[in-house]
Amino acid sequence: MNKSELIDTMADKSELTKADAGRALDAFLSAVSERLADTSIEIKDRSIALVGFGTFSVKERAERKGRNPQTGAEITIKAAKIPSFKAGKSLKDAVN
């Protein structure tokens, strides 16, 4: 399913117009992105928990060693903050 198909499904299920469903989806994605990227908040407090669906959060990945696939030379991969999603019980049950 791509974004336009998701918007169509949202519009059908919520009785919104496709334009309104598109704006709602864009607002949701923007809110999640802004919260996870907000550096004024500590990393552990940036999470968004949607009970039953899942939790969006930021995790820190430590610096590590890697290899350049072309030359085989060892390189250092910098530490990074990465977005994460952990599915909730209702979502897991729906899939299984």
* CATH assignment at residue 68: 4.10.520.10
Residues 68, 33 within the same domain: no
Within 8 A by CB and 6+ apart from 21, the residues are 7, 8, 10, 11, 14
Tell me how many domains the chain contains: 2
Residues 12, 58 within the same domain: no
Show the domain range for 29.
1-37
Share of the chain above pLDDT 90, in %: 95
Q: Give the pLDDT confidence score for residue 44 in this predicted structure.
A: 86
Residues 32, 58 within the same domain: no
Residues 71, 47 within the same domain: yes
CA neighbor of 91 nearest in space, from 36, 51, 43: 51
Share of the chain above pLDDT 70, in %: 100
Say if residues 20 and 8 touch (Cβ distance below 8 Å). Answer: no
Residues 53, 8 within the same domain: no
pLDDT tops 90 at residue 91: yes
Residues 47, 80 within the same domain: yes
Residues 73, 91: Cα–Cα separation, whole Å: 43
pLDDT tens digit string along 14-55?
999 999 999 999 999 999 999 999 989 898 899 999 999 999
Q: Give the pLDDT confidence score for residue 23 in this predicted structure.
A: 97
Residues 9, 47: Cα–Cα separation, whole Å: 26
For the whole prediction, is pTM greater than 0.75? yes
Strands 48-50 and 54-61, by their bridges, are antiparallel
Summary mean pLDDT of the chain: 94
Residues 62, 96 within the same domain: yes
